[in-house]
Protein backbone atom coordinates (compact mmCIF):
# COMPACT_ATOMS: atom_id res chain seq x y z
CA UNK A 1 0.00 0.00 0.00
CA UNK A 2 1.40 3.40 -1.00
CA UNK A 3 1.21 6.64 0.97
CA UNK A 4 -1.58 7.84 -1.33
CA UNK A 5 -3.54 4.61 -0.98
CA UNK A 6 -3.22 4.59 2.81
CA UNK A 7 -4.39 8.21 3.06
CA UNK A 8 -7.47 7.34 1.01
CA UNK A 9 -8.17 4.23 3.11
CA UNK A 10 -7.64 6.08 6.41
CA UNK A 11 -9.86 8.92 5.24
CA UNK A 12 -12.71 6.49 4.56
CA UNK A 13 -12.30 4.89 8.01
CA UNK A 14 -12.39 8.21 9.85
CA UNK A 15 -15.27 9.54 7.78
CA UNK A 16 -17.37 6.48 8.65
CA UNK A 17 -16.69 7.13 12.34
CA UNK A 18 -17.26 10.87 12.27
CA UNK A 19 -20.16 10.47 14.72
CA UNK A 20 -17.57 9.80 17.43
CA UNK A 21 -16.22 13.31 16.95
CA UNK A 22 -18.15 15.96 14.96
CA UNK A 23 -15.05 18.21 15.05
CA UNK A 24 -12.87 15.60 13.33
CA UNK A 25 -10.50 16.99 10.70
CA UNK A 26 -10.18 13.85 8.61
CA UNK A 27 -7.55 14.90 6.07
CA UNK A 28 -5.32 16.65 8.59
CA UNK A 29 -5.43 13.74 11.05
CA UNK A 30 -4.59 11.19 8.37
CA UNK A 31 -1.50 13.16 7.38
CA UNK A 32 -0.43 13.59 11.01
CA UNK A 33 -0.60 9.85 11.65
CA UNK A 34 1.32 9.06 8.47
CA UNK A 35 3.94 11.72 9.25
CA UNK A 36 4.43 10.30 12.74
CA UNK A 37 5.08 6.76 11.55
CA UNK A 38 7.10 7.52 8.41
CA UNK A 39 9.05 10.41 10.00
CA UNK A 40 8.43 12.42 6.84
CA UNK A 41 7.01 15.92 6.43
CA UNK A 42 3.68 16.52 4.75
CA UNK A 43 5.47 18.03 1.77
CA UNK A 44 7.64 14.92 1.43
CA UNK A 45 4.62 12.62 1.61
CA UNK A 46 2.91 14.64 -1.12
CA UNK A 47 6.03 14.63 -3.28
CA UNK A 48 6.61 10.86 -2.90
CA UNK A 49 2.99 9.71 -2.69
CA UNK A 50 3.76 6.48 -4.59
CA UNK A 51 6.18 5.30 -1.89
CA UNK A 52 5.18 1.87 -0.61
CA UNK A 53 4.69 1.52 3.14
CA UNK A 54 6.67 -1.24 4.82
CA UNK A 55 4.93 -4.01 6.74
CA UNK A 56 6.28 -2.53 9.96
CA UNK A 57 4.88 0.90 9.14
CA UNK A 58 1.45 -0.57 8.35
CA UNK A 59 1.47 -2.42 11.67
CA UNK A 60 2.25 0.82 13.50
CA UNK A 61 -0.43 2.77 11.63
CA UNK A 62 -3.29 0.32 12.22
CA UNK A 63 -3.74 0.81 16.00
CA UNK A 64 -3.19 4.57 15.74
CA UNK A 65 -5.92 4.85 13.11
CA UNK A 66 -8.33 2.75 15.21
CA UNK A 67 -7.72 4.95 18.27
CA UNK A 68 -8.54 8.05 16.24
CA UNK A 69 -11.60 6.36 14.71
CA UNK A 70 -12.90 5.80 18.26
CA UNK A 71 -12.56 9.54 18.90
CA UNK A 72 -9.39 9.63 20.98
CA UNK A 73 -7.76 13.08 20.58
CA UNK A 74 -4.97 13.21 18.04
CA UNK A 75 -2.79 14.98 20.62
CA UNK A 76 -3.00 12.02 23.00
CA UNK A 77 -2.30 9.55 20.20
CA UNK A 78 0.78 11.45 19.06
CA UNK A 79 1.79 12.43 22.59
CA UNK A 80 2.36 16.07 21.68
CA UNK A 81 0.61 19.30 20.78
CA UNK A 82 1.75 22.60 19.31
CA UNK A 83 1.01 25.71 21.38
CA UNK A 84 2.30 29.23 20.75
CA UNK A 85 5.72 28.52 19.21
CA UNK A 86 6.26 25.41 21.30
CA UNK A 87 5.96 21.66 20.85
CA UNK A 88 4.60 20.21 24.10
CA UNK A 89 4.34 16.68 25.40
CA UNK A 90 0.80 15.84 26.53
CA UNK A 91 -0.71 12.96 28.45
CA UNK A 92 -4.18 11.75 29.39
CA UNK A 93 -3.68 13.48 32.76
CA UNK A 94 -3.49 16.93 31.20
CA UNK A 95 -5.73 19.20 29.19
CA UNK A 96 -4.84 19.55 25.55
CA UNK A 97 -3.58 23.14 25.00
CA UNK A 98 -6.00 25.11 22.82
CA UNK A 99 -5.68 28.23 20.65
CA UNK A 100 -8.14 30.16 22.86
CA UNK A 101 -5.62 30.00 25.70
CA UNK A 102 -3.14 31.93 23.55
CA UNK A 103 -5.42 34.94 24.17
CA UNK A 104 -4.52 34.68 27.86
CA UNK A 105 -0.82 34.53 26.95
CA UNK A 106 -1.11 37.62 24.73
CA UNK A 107 -2.71 39.72 27.48
CA UNK A 108 -0.36 38.35 30.13
CA UNK A 109 2.58 39.48 27.99
CA UNK A 110 1.05 42.97 27.70
CA UNK A 111 0.60 43.13 31.48
CA UNK A 112 4.15 41.92 32.11
CA UNK A 113 5.61 44.57 29.81
CA UNK A 114 3.48 47.27 31.47
CA UNK A 115 4.67 46.07 34.85
CA UNK A 116 8.33 46.42 33.88
CA UNK A 117 7.81 50.10 33.05
CA UNK A 118 5.57 50.92 36.04
CA UNK A 119 6.54 52.85 39.16
CA UNK A 120 5.80 49.76 41.28
CA UNK A 121 8.35 47.52 39.55
CA UNK A 122 10.89 46.06 41.97
CA UNK A 123 13.45 44.95 39.39
CA UNK A 124 12.32 41.33 39.40
CA UNK A 125 9.42 40.11 37.29
CA UNK A 126 7.65 37.16 38.93
CA UNK A 127 4.73 35.23 37.45
CA UNK A 128 2.63 32.37 38.85
CA UNK A 129 0.71 29.93 36.62
CA UNK A 130 -1.95 28.06 38.60
CA UNK A 131 -3.00 24.61 37.35
CA UNK A 132 -0.17 24.61 34.84
CA UNK A 133 -0.87 21.20 33.23
CA UNK A 134 1.56 20.78 30.34
CA UNK A 135 3.16 24.08 31.34
CA UNK A 136 1.81 25.68 28.16
CA UNK A 137 1.06 29.14 29.58
CA UNK A 138 4.17 29.40 31.73
CA UNK A 139 6.45 28.20 28.94
CA UNK A 140 4.89 30.47 26.31
CA UNK A 141 5.45 33.44 28.63
CA UNK A 142 9.03 32.33 29.24
CA UNK A 143 9.66 32.10 25.50
CA UNK A 144 8.73 35.75 24.97
CA UNK A 145 9.86 37.31 28.24
CA UNK A 146 13.26 35.64 28.70
CA UNK A 147 15.06 37.54 25.89
CA UNK A 148 13.32 40.80 26.86
CA UNK A 149 14.27 40.61 30.54
CA UNK A 150 17.81 39.48 29.76
CA UNK A 151 18.24 42.46 27.47
CA UNK A 152 17.02 44.82 30.21
CA UNK A 153 18.99 43.14 33.00
CA UNK A 154 15.80 42.09 34.79
CA UNK A 155 15.49 38.90 36.81
CA UNK A 156 12.60 36.78 35.49
CA UNK A 157 10.97 34.20 37.72
CA UNK A 158 8.11 32.01 36.47
CA UNK A 159 6.52 29.31 38.63
CA UNK A 160 3.90 26.81 37.48
CA UNK A 161 1.96 24.70 40.00
CA UNK A 162 -0.27 21.67 39.59
CA UNK A 163 -1.81 19.28 42.11
CA UNK A 164 -0.72 16.09 40.29
CA UNK A 165 2.90 14.95 40.63
CA UNK A 166 2.99 13.24 37.20
CA UNK A 167 1.70 16.40 35.56
CA UNK A 168 4.40 18.48 37.25
CA UNK A 169 6.99 16.03 35.91
CA UNK A 170 5.53 16.40 32.41
CA UNK A 171 5.70 20.21 32.63
CA UNK A 172 9.35 19.96 33.71
CA UNK A 173 10.06 17.71 30.72
CA UNK A 174 8.45 20.27 28.42
CA UNK A 175 10.61 23.03 29.87
CA UNK A 176 13.73 20.94 29.29
CA UNK A 177 12.65 19.96 25.77
CA UNK A 178 12.15 23.61 24.83
CA UNK A 179 15.25 24.88 26.63
CA UNK A 180 13.32 27.18 28.97
CA UNK A 181 13.95 28.12 32.59
CA UNK A 182 10.65 27.75 34.44
CA UNK A 183 10.15 26.25 37.89
CA UNK A 184 7.33 23.79 38.57
CA UNK A 185 5.92 22.72 41.93
CA UNK A 186 3.24 20.30 43.09
CA UNK A 187 0.54 22.32 44.82
CA UNK A 188 -3.24 22.45 45.03
CA UNK A 189 -3.65 26.06 43.95
CA UNK A 190 -1.83 28.16 46.57
CA UNK A 191 -1.56 25.47 49.28
CA UNK A 192 2.19 24.72 48.98
CA UNK A 193 3.26 28.35 48.53
CA UNK A 194 4.79 30.28 51.40
CA UNK A 195 3.45 33.63 52.55
CA UNK A 196 6.58 35.35 51.28
CA UNK A 197 5.94 34.03 47.75
CA UNK A 198 4.47 37.04 45.98
CA UNK A 199 4.06 37.73 42.29
CA UNK A 200 3.60 40.60 39.88
CA UNK A 201 1.14 38.56 37.85
CA UNK A 202 -0.92 35.42 38.45
CA UNK A 203 -2.44 33.59 35.48
CA UNK A 204 -4.67 30.53 35.32
CA UNK A 205 -6.85 28.42 33.08
CA UNK A 206 -8.73 26.61 35.88
CA UNK A 207 -11.59 24.10 35.66
CA UNK A 208 -14.75 26.04 34.84
CA UNK A 209 -17.26 23.59 33.33
CA UNK A 210 -20.43 22.58 35.15
CA UNK A 211 -20.68 18.82 35.75
CA UNK A 212 -23.98 18.70 33.82
CA UNK A 213 -22.69 20.52 30.74
CA UNK A 214 -23.59 18.48 27.62
CA UNK A 215 -20.32 19.49 25.94
CA UNK A 216 -18.51 17.04 28.24
CA UNK A 217 -19.86 14.26 26.02
CA UNK A 218 -18.49 15.76 22.81
CA UNK A 219 -15.14 15.84 21.01
CA UNK A 220 -11.79 15.73 22.78
CA UNK A 221 -13.14 16.60 26.24
CA UNK A 222 -14.60 13.06 26.50
CA UNK A 223 -11.02 11.85 26.97
CA UNK A 224 -9.60 14.71 29.03
CA UNK A 225 -9.38 14.51 32.86
CA UNK A 226 -12.56 15.75 34.53
CA UNK A 227 -10.47 17.17 37.38
CA UNK A 228 -9.04 19.70 34.91
CA UNK A 229 -12.42 20.51 33.37
CA UNK A 230 -15.18 20.41 35.97
CA UNK A 231 -15.68 22.65 39.00
CA UNK A 232 -18.41 22.82 41.63
CA UNK A 233 -20.88 25.72 41.92
CA UNK A 234 -21.88 25.35 38.26
CA UNK A 235 -18.24 25.73 37.23
CA UNK A 236 -17.35 28.75 39.38
CA UNK A 237 -15.86 27.18 42.54
CA UNK A 238 -12.19 27.20 41.52
CA UNK A 239 -12.47 30.61 39.88
CA UNK A 240 -13.98 31.99 43.09
CA UNK A 241 -11.27 30.39 45.24
CA UNK A 242 -8.47 31.84 43.11
CA UNK A 243 -10.02 35.33 43.11
CA UNK A 244 -10.44 35.25 46.89
CA UNK A 245 -6.95 33.92 47.67
CA UNK A 246 -4.80 35.62 45.00
CA UNK A 247 -4.39 38.96 46.87
CA UNK A 248 -2.34 37.14 49.55
CA UNK A 249 0.23 36.24 46.90
CA UNK A 250 0.39 39.42 44.83
CA UNK A 251 2.82 42.28 45.04
CA UNK A 252 1.36 45.79 45.36
CA UNK A 253 -0.59 46.69 42.21
CA UNK A 254 -0.34 43.10 41.01
CA UNK A 255 -2.84 41.53 38.60
CA UNK A 256 -4.79 38.29 38.11
CA UNK A 257 -5.76 36.99 34.67
CA UNK A 258 -8.24 34.11 34.37
CA UNK A 259 -9.55 32.09 31.43
CA UNK A 260 -13.20 31.02 31.69
CA UNK A 261 -16.16 29.80 29.66
CA UNK A 262 -17.54 31.99 26.91
CA UNK A 263 -20.79 32.59 28.82
CA UNK A 264 -19.24 33.14 32.24
CA UNK A 265 -17.66 36.58 31.89
CA UNK A 266 -20.42 38.58 33.57
CA UNK A 267 -20.46 36.42 36.68
CA UNK A 268 -16.65 36.23 36.83
CA UNK A 269 -16.49 40.03 36.75
CA UNK A 270 -19.06 40.12 39.55
CA UNK A 271 -16.90 37.80 41.70
CA UNK A 272 -13.87 40.03 41.11
CA UNK A 273 -15.82 43.16 42.05
CA UNK A 274 -17.38 41.55 45.13
CA UNK A 275 -13.84 40.86 46.35
CA UNK A 276 -12.79 44.50 45.84
CA UNK A 277 -10.62 44.08 42.76
CA UNK A 278 -10.11 47.11 40.53
CA UNK A 279 -9.96 47.76 36.78
CA UNK A 280 -11.87 44.54 36.08
CA UNK A 281 -12.22 43.90 32.36
CA UNK A 282 -12.82 41.01 29.97
CA UNK A 283 -11.07 40.22 26.68
CA UNK A 284 -12.52 38.32 23.73
CA UNK A 285 -11.03 35.27 22.04
CA UNK A 286 -10.40 34.79 18.31
CA UNK A 287 -14.07 33.87 17.80
CA UNK A 288 -15.31 37.06 19.45
CA UNK A 289 -16.38 35.35 22.69
CA UNK A 290 -15.59 36.78 26.14
CA UNK A 291 -12.82 34.43 27.27
CA UNK A 292 -10.33 36.03 29.70
CA UNK A 293 -10.97 38.39 32.63
CA UNK A 294 -8.47 40.64 34.38
CA UNK A 295 -8.50 42.11 37.85
CA UNK A 296 -5.94 44.44 39.48
CA UNK A 297 -5.21 44.49 43.21
CA UNK A 298 -4.52 47.77 44.98
Annotated binding residues for S-adenosyl-L-methionine: 131-135, 162, 189, 205
Binding residues: 131-135, 162, 189, 205-208
The Cβ of residue 280 has, within 10 Å, a number of other Cβ atoms equal to: 17
For residues 281 and 287, give the distance between their C-alpha atoms in angstroms, rounded to a whole number: 18
Q: How far does CA 278 lie from the centroid of its chain?
A: 27
Cα–Cα dist 175/171, whole Å: 6
Any residues with CB less than 8 A from the CB of 160 and at least 6 apart, and which? 128, 129, 132, 135, 137, 138, 171, 182, 183, 184, 185
What's the rounded Cα separation, in Å, for the pair 282 and 270? 11
- For residue 125, give Cα distances in angstroms to 78, 153, 186, 224: 35, 11, 22, 33
Which helix (H) or strand (E) is 130 found in, with range?
A: strand 124-130
Binding-site residues for substrate, please? Answer: 205-208
> What's the gap between Cα 32 and its chain centre?
20
Amino acid sequence: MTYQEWLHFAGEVLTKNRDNDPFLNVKNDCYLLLQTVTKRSKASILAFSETVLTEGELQQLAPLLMRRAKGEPIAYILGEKAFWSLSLKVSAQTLIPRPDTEILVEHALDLAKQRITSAHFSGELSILDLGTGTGAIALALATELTPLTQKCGINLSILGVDCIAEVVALAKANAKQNGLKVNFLQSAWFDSLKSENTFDLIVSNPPYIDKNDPHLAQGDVRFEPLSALVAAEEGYADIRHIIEQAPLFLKPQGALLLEHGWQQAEKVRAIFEKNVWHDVMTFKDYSGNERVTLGCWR
